[in-house]
Structure 1
Amino acid sequence: MQLTEQQVLALAPDNGAASNGKKLAQAKNWPLLGRSPRALWGECQGSGSKPYQVRVDLADFASKCSCPSFKFPCKHALGLLVLTANQPDLVQENGEPEWVGDWLDKRVDTAAKKEAKAIAKADAPVDEAAQQKRAEKRSERVADGLAALQVWLEDLVRNGLARLPAEGPGIWDQQAARLVDAQAPALAARLRALADLPGSGADWPEQLLAELGRIAVAVRAFERIDQLTPDLQHALRQYIGYTVREEDVLAAGQPVQDTWQVIGQMVEDNERVRVQRTWVKGQHTGRHALLLQFAVGAQPFGQSWLPGSSFNAELVFWPGAAAQRALLKGTASPAAASSQFLHGVDFARLLDAASTTLAQYPWVERCAAVLTGITPVLHAGRWFAVAADGQALPLAAGDHWHWLALSGGQAFDVAVEWDGTLLRPLGLFIAGCYQPLSGGQLWTN
């Protein structure tokens, strides 16, 4: 394992847990330490007479501790991981204690039962007539809602965009509410998010028109959805807000077995819901996958994928054109961590791949890639990612001085998100160790 302290602290649920975890990362606090190919564990001496038992699954870095904390990972799990990152020789390979092995076996058993339950639910007999009737009724409501949206969009453009900064979010919220009533919740959320664009910058009209155009294409496509390919139908319905049950993904999605490298992670707050986007890349297939997790308020995410780590698993991709989102099938097993990215591309190949994806699925919001040999450059007040041949792409706002300091101005392969306009750096390897950039949570004292 080539863990770094920065990687570990990116898992912290808040600044306090990160700070307390660093304080616990001293050998004197751990009378028992050990590791196996599957896990890390340790006993941390607390304020009471009985030490806390801490274990970490090396496949997805999920953890469990006997302390009463409601934070995940807790300060003890963070302390164990920071200690392992900074002083790996202290954590010797050993036989798993019973309390570690039982926990790991229970996780495997729970995942197997969940998968079996999902498959059984997908295979269960259904009232096809009633299901068809519900689908038709929803389709009618969505069609009516999109028809009204089309009229609204035409009026918006006809009346001009110059007045929008003074209008405020009200007009967007009102139309979004109508889409919620029409059972198109994802499209409603996209429309509501556009309220922040008017007046946000010099090029806000171009950005707004591009997003409105994307929505208009979806409206027109739904009018003739029966003429689209099944994959594009799936993709369009998901863009509008039709949900796909996990059991249906397992039953109808595309399974891909590989060794997956976690190339980067983004965490965003969307009102009361936090969204975690974890990008992984198959070492053999070269395929990118997006693992999405959601958490309400301060609740932890279900899995703790650690950027820079690798795991062996079968992922099942959501049905649909240019599918990126995937679901873990069963359980993952830890794989040897790599000291570098594999399958890097240059700017031209990134843009070619993005344009090919857009041709298949016009509503793709972002894609991930590993760009070879780039460095951040500040020019005329704006940051750019610049390749050795001088080609450049603009960077999203962020602390790119951190990237520049880590790299010393040298070119490195960097994992990025590309949304068609801006690059968001996720992380890079320096001296064989993964360093997260502005894409994830990084807590400091």
Structure 2
Amino acid sequence: MNPQGERWTTDQVLALAPDDASRKAGGKLASPGPWTETGADEGAVWGLCRGSGKKPYQAVIDIKGPAFKCSCPSRKFPCKHALGLLLLWAGEGTAVPGGEPPQWAGEWLAGRREKSERAAGTAAGGSAAARTPADPEAAKRRAERRLQRIGAGATELERRLEDLLRTGLAAAEGAGGGTSVENGGGSWDETAARMVDAQAPGLAARVRELGSTVASGADWPSRLLEECALLHLLDQGFLGRERLPAPLAATVRSRVGLTTEAADLLTGPDAATVRDRWLVLAQQDSDDGKLITRRIHLRGERTGRMALHLSFGGQGRLLDLALPPGLVLDADLAYYPGARPLRAALGERHAPAAPGPVPPGCGIDAALAAYGDALRDDPWLDSWPVVLADVTPVPPRDGTGWQLADTDGESALPLDPRSLGRTGLWRLAAISGGAPITVFGECGHRGFLPLTAWDPTPVSL
């Protein structure tokens, strides 16, 4: 095996950057000049970077995580020094030679290994009793009270939807600039706050979506009616959940905001994991000012199953899990319950992440069929992840928007309007150069949102 482990590509490193500014700053540090005492082994990369102070910054990366440590004061994760060191290591040559980590790097790496071993021991058994509530009956009563509060919120929301439809959708625009639920009634924000009080954040989010739909462009009444119908369906599904099949009932519970703990999925009495070599298809970060959400899309090499890993950070919490596109992870996943499972918790890893192949894909018709099948099981689904093979990006022409076309030209898929303002579309066209390529993204009612293309290595869009 390579004593420095499998090298990543430049695009895989840049996919870890929290923003464009970090990418640029990291790129400026991707040369040997500011670095001393660099080194790497199978699981880590380390080095000292000259800064503005007397002491150089100590940067170390656990590439098996990956995880990052730097003595600089930056609150970005990873910082520009970690990115620069990874870019230097990913390049050709001997700028980062093999060796043994120095004490300051070895201590941090040993601490991570110890923590990982403790977590593995916890997952293997013996910790379930420690997580068992001291008073199971009290926990059961709390869960029942929450279900009652959500039920009361869903019932109230049903009345407000009935008032809206009785008054007419046009009144929603005229009463308060598109913010009123009914003529003379409370605002969408007020109704959403009521759903938060009812401990139903999923309902609250859909109510806010209603408010943003009003007067949002041409044909907004049709879109508002569709959103009202989906919200009514979710309300009725929750109120009648006891009559639903178990998988659909689980989907309804998750859509209103009831979640399952990852630890219960991995080690609970009903735990069921899927081991596979999971190819990382995309990593996306979004920041609403309060919370950073990281979405990592995976595809099983053996099972062909799609998976979505979510992690959250904010208010001083760093996102520890970072997996750039193109890596393969031999690991266990536990899917959250639902009629069409997609979100999954990451369990035991059986080997370090390593570069993987270009994923197999399908045509446009098969992608639409996959989205339709998923939508049949989960009618509140916005999109479904798919890998498209042998498609060509087509820029706007003759009054049409951006599209992806099959090689035979018989099928084309419009691109999601959310991607139209991104330079990534022209980057996608440049990668293609008019030739068919493989693209991963989300196929939904708005169109296809491209996230990663292969050239032949993965490029984040």
TM-score normalised by L of structure 2: 0.86
Structure 2 equivalent of residue 344 of structure 1: 361
Structure 2: tracts of 5 or more residues without a match: 1-5, 181-186
Structure 1 equivalent of residue 161 of structure 2: 153
Q: Secondary structure at the match of 1:354?
A: helix
Structure 1 equivalent of residue 178 of structure 2: 168
Q: Secondary structure at the match of 1:31?
A: strand
**Counterpart code for 1:147:** T
Partners of 2:202 and 2:130 in 1: CA distance:
24
Q: Secondary structure at the match of 1:382?
A: coil
Asked whether the equivalents of residues 12 and 458 of structure 2 are also in contact (C-alpha less than 8 Å), the reply is yes
TM-score normalised by L of structure 1: 0.89
Structure 2 equivalent of residue 247 of structure 1: 263
Which moved further from structure 2: 323-332 or 286-295? Answer: 323-332
Structure 2 equivalent of residue 356 of structure 1: 373
Partners of 2:179 and 2:350 in 1: CA distance:
44
Residues 12-411 of structure 1: pairs in structure 2 closer than 5 A: 12-48=17-53, 50-87=55-92, 89-114=94-119, 119-120=127-128, 124=132, 126-166=134-174, 167-169=177-179, 171-250=187-266, 251=268, 252-296=270-314, 300-331=318-349, 333-341=351-359, 343-377=360-394, 378-379=396-397, 380-390=399-409, 391-397=411-417, 398=419, 399=422, 400-411=425-436
**Counterpart code for 1:139:** L
Structure 2 equivalent of residue 441 of structure 1: none
1:45-89 deviation line (CA, Å, top 9, x unaligned)? 334554333222223332112333332211110111222334355
Q: Secondary structure at the match of 1:389?
A: coil
Which moved further from structure 2: 17-26 or 112-121? Answer: 112-121
Partners of 2:209 and 2:119 in 1: CA distance:
35
Q: CA deviation at 1:188?
A: 0.5
1:96-117 deviation line (CA, Å, top 9, x unaligned)? 4454444334223323434656
1:294-351 deviation line (CA, Å, top 9, x unaligned)? 222685423222122222222222123222111122457433312422x311222222
Asked whether the equivalents of residues 60 and 306 of structure 1 are also in contact (C-alpha less than 8 Å), the reply is no
Partners of 2:223 and 2:408 in 1: CA distance:
29
Which moved further from structure 2: 99-108 or 307-316? Answer: 99-108
**Counterpart code for 1:363:** W
**Closer, same or farther in 2 for the Cα pair 1:145/1:277, shift >3 Å?**
same
Partners of 1:426 and 1:88 in 2: CA distance:
31
Q: Secondary structure at the match of 1:147?
A: helix
**Closer, same or farther in 2 for the Cα pair 1:120/1:406, shift >3 Å?**
same
**Counterpart code for 2:256:** I
Q: CA deviation at 1:126?
A: 4.8
Partners of 2:130 and 2:403 in 1: CA distance:
47
Larger RCO, structures 1/2 (Cα 8 Å, 6+ apart): 1
Aligned residues: 435
**Closer, same or farther in 2 for the Cα pair 1:101/1:282, shift >3 Å?**
farther
Partners of 2:220 and 2:253 in 1: CA distance:
28
**Closer, same or farther in 2 for the Cα pair 1:85/1:158, shift >3 Å?**
farther
Q: CA deviation at 1:145?
A: 1.4
Partners of 1:102 and 1:259 in 2: CA distance:
30
CA RMSD of aligned residues (A): 2.6
Partners of 1:115 and 1:2 in 2: CA distance:
26
Partners of 2:277 and 2:430 in 1: CA distance:
31
**Closer, same or farther in 2 for the Cα pair 1:106/1:169, shift >3 Å?**
farther
**Closer, same or farther in 2 for the Cα pair 1:409/1:314, shift >3 Å?**
same
Partners of 1:258 and 1:367 in 2: CA distance:
20
Identity of counterpart residues, as a percentage?
Answer: 38
Partners of 1:331 and 1:74 in 2: CA distance:
25
Partners of 1:2 and 1:370 in 2: CA distance:
25
Q: CA deviation at 1:176?
A: 1.0
1:1-27 deviation line (CA, Å, top 9, x unaligned)? 564444433322344433322211111
Q: CA deviation at 1:125?
A: 5.3
Q: CA deviation at 1:355?
A: 2.3
**Closer, same or farther in 2 for the Cα pair 1:212/1:203, shift >3 Å?**
same
